Amino acid sequence: MNFRRTRAVARKEFLHIIRDARSLILALLLPLVMLLLFGYALSLDVDQIPTIVYDRDHTPQSRDLIREFSGSRYFQVTAVANSYDDIDRDIDRSRTLLAIVVPENYSKDLLAGREAQVQLIIDGSDSNTASIAVGYTEALVQSYALQLRSEAQVQKGGGKLNNAVEPRIRVWYNNDLVSRNYIVPGLIAVILMIIASLLTSLTIAREWETGTMEQLLSTPVRPTELVLGKLSAYFTLGITDMVICLVIGVFVFDVPMKGSVLLLLFSSCLFLFGALSWGILMSASTRSQLVAYQLGTLTSFLPAFLLSGFIYSIHSMPVIIQAVTYIVPARYFVTVLKFIFLKGVGVEVLWAELTFLFLYAAIVFLFASRKLRQKIA
């Protein structure tokens, strides 16, 4: 391999990127727009659940129960219903997610020491949010019931009623359970994969469509040198995007950075090199920019978004889909990003993920060079 020929191809690709102002602006602004959009708009935190109350008892005991919901940060009482029709209307129009119905005999049953029932109506169209809301509601009602039983025990002359088991929960690595702290690091992998699929998947196909590939074939440039030259230009652009994502994530969204920045950059280089090589491979496999773009999106961006654990938990997927995720490089890179950002671990923990990224990058690069050699032949 000749370094001068590789540098000449890289210079040619750099000039093409600089002259194509729209692609350059897209490549530099896309990370900023996606980070701001996902960081501010996308949140998996379930709190301030819109709640409507239908109090059919109208007693101090029923108002105490409603006050428990109003005072919780997880619920926001937005309306008071006078009938079930009001509940149906608000749920149908997505104004509320949860309805609390206190029956007429609630206070009588409570004061008589009998089991007092409360009806909870939940909109299940969003099953994930509804299940979380059910968990919050059950926890609040159980805590309130324990408080009432304890007060009743004290009034009867007994001691204070305590839980048989008192859980003391300690959350590691993401103390406040803020979804942004793991969405933003995972988003870096998706952004880098998008840059790779959008730009490098078109580079070889564009050469064939514009007729410049014939000029390259007449030069002594070898396939490996051609691939490395083209990769170096987009690699520089990808690292720039990586730095932009890192700065915005840490200084704008206050995502904790507990690990090594050098390890983060090293793993990003491995992942980016493999992603760019995959884009070159898709571009070398076809002479059409449209087909290359579609192949790149289908085989890189969508798996990175859906099968990497970026948003959707891999453990909750079907077994067959979980098996497929093992060949998705973004899965390993998302793990590396979250562990470095939130846990601050090093190579001693992430060696398996880094080894896979290295092998993936090397294998895909060899396949891309071989495919381009076949095209040239």
pLDDT tens column, 277-301: 888 888 777 777 777 777 877 888 7
Q: What is the Cα–Cα distance from 235 to 90, expressed in whole angstroms? A: 52
Specify the amino acid at residue 11: R
pLDDT band at 154 (very low <50, low <70, confident <90, very high): low
What whole-number percentage of the chain has pLDDT above 90? Answer: 8
What is the reported pTM?
0.75
Question: Which two structure tokens, joined as six digits, stand for 280?
Answer: 């070159």
In the chain, what are the domains?
3-43+178-376 (no CATH), 49-155 (3.40.1710.10)
Cα 264 versus chain centre, distance: 18
Q: Does residue 207 carry a pLDDT above 60?
A: yes
In this prediction, residue 187 carries a pLDDT of: 83
Distance of CA 322 to the CA centre of its chain: 17
**Among all chains, which residue has been given the structure tokens 């009938």?**
83
List, for residues 336-345, the tens digit of each pLDDT value.
Answer: 998 898 888 8
Do 98 and 75 touch, CB atoms closer than 8 A?
A: yes
Give pLDDT tens digits for 259-280: 899 999 999 999 989 888 888 8
d(CA 72, CA 78): 13
Instruction: Please choose, from the candidates 313, 319, 278, 285, the residue with its C-alpha nearest in 3D space to the C-alpha of residue 299.
Output: 278
Mean pLDDT of the chain: 80
- What does the pLDDT read at residue 193? 83
Q: DSSP character for 316?
A: G
CA 243 to chain centre: 19
Distance in angstroms (rounded) separating the CA atoms of residues 5 and 221: 6
Burial class of residue 76 in the structure, from the number of CB atoms within 10 Å of its CB (0-12 exposed, 13-18 middle, 19+ buried): middle
Name the token pair of 275: 């992603």
